[in-house]
Amino acid sequence: MRTVGIVAATLATTAVVGGGAYWLYKRRKKKKDDELADDDDVVLKDFEDDDDPITPDDIRPRGGFMDRNTLPDDVKQEFIEAFGGYAPPKDEILDNLTQEDVILFGVKSEPVPGYPEVREEILTAKVRTVEDTVIRARISEPEEFSAHLGSYAGHGFRFGEMVEVPRGVIIFAARPKPTDVTGYGKHGRPAGTFESSHVTKKSYDVHPGTPYDLVMPYITDDIEFHVDRAMVRFELVGTKGLHQQIVFKEGSMHGDVTLRALDRDPKTGLVFVARWNFHIEP
C-alpha cells in the first residue's frame, strides 16, 4: 500500500523565463490560510528531538526520488485539474531557473527492518544552482513523511536540507506567488524552535535559508544579537510573542557558531539575555 502526500508552495500564475513557460501548482491537500495561526495552534518541529543520531544505520529513514513518469493517478489528476494537462518542464525551462524559483519533485521511502510500508511525497525546494545533470536546491516547505511512523518507513528528506535533484525527476518548475507577509513568517513556517542553550545545554543543527524560532525570556527594543564568527550572516525576521524568528543567510560559513542576545541597558550596559549554540549544516 502506498500513501502519497503533497507538500508544495502556492505558486504564481504562468510566467515566461528564457522563452519557456512556468506552471502553477495547486496543493492536493487543503492549504492553510496565509495568516499565521495563533500560538496555541502552531506545532513547531524541534530538531533536538530528532532521533537520527541514535538510530542504527540499518533502520535510519532513507529514500530516493520518484519516477515522474509513474506518478499515481490521483496526483496526476491534481495537475490536470490545475493546468488542463500534465507535462514536466523541458531542459530549456530548467536552464533558465533562477534563485527566485522553486522546483517540485517526488521522493519515496525505502523499507527498512520493522518499517515495510512505503511513503511517497512531493516536496518543494528553492533553486540554488543549475547544473548540467542536476538542480541544486534547498527544501523550502515542511515535509510530512521524513521520519518513520507506525509500519511506514520515512524517506529522510528534511526541511532545510540541500538536495541535488536529477533533472529527469523534476515534476514542475515555478515562481512562488508574491505575498504581502512581512516580518515574522515572511519566509514561511519555522523549521524548529529552540530554547536557549545556556538552559538546555544543547547545540542545534540548522540550515541556511531556513526560518527558525528562538524562544526569548523577554523582548525589548534594546536587545541586540551577536554571532562569534565574522563569516556567519543572519536575518532577524520578526517577533511573535516571545519568539524571535531568524534565518542564517546562504553563504554563511558552515560549522559551529554561537548566537547571543544582549540587552543594552541604558544604565548598566550590555546584559546577557540568552545564548544559542548552533552547527550550520550545508
The structural domains of the chain, with segments of one domain joined by +, span: 2-174, 193-280
State the CATH architecture for 193-280.
Sandwich (2.60)
pLDDT digits (tens, 9 = 90+) for 221-256: 999 999 999 999 999 999 999 999 999 999 999 999
DSSP 85-121: S--PPPHHHHHT--TT-EEEEEEEE--BTTB-BEEEE
Tell me: pLDDT of 97 over 50.
Answer: yes
Torsion (CA) 154, 31, 246, 130 in degrees, nearest 10? 70
pLDDT digits (tens, 9 = 90+) for 15-43: 333 222 233 333 333 333 333 334 333 33
d(CA 21, CA 135): 18
Per-residue confidence (pLDDT) for residue 84, from 0 to 100: 76
Percent of the chain with pLDDT over 90: 66
| Distances in whole angstroms, Cα of residue 110 to Cα of each of 2, 14, 44, 62, 93 | 12, 35, 26, 6, 31
Quote the pTM value.
Answer: 0.78
pLDDT above 50 (res 45): no
Give the separation between CA 79 and CA 67, rounded to whole angstroms: 16
Residue 47: the pLDDT is 39
Which three three-digit cell numbers place residue 59? Answer: 533502520
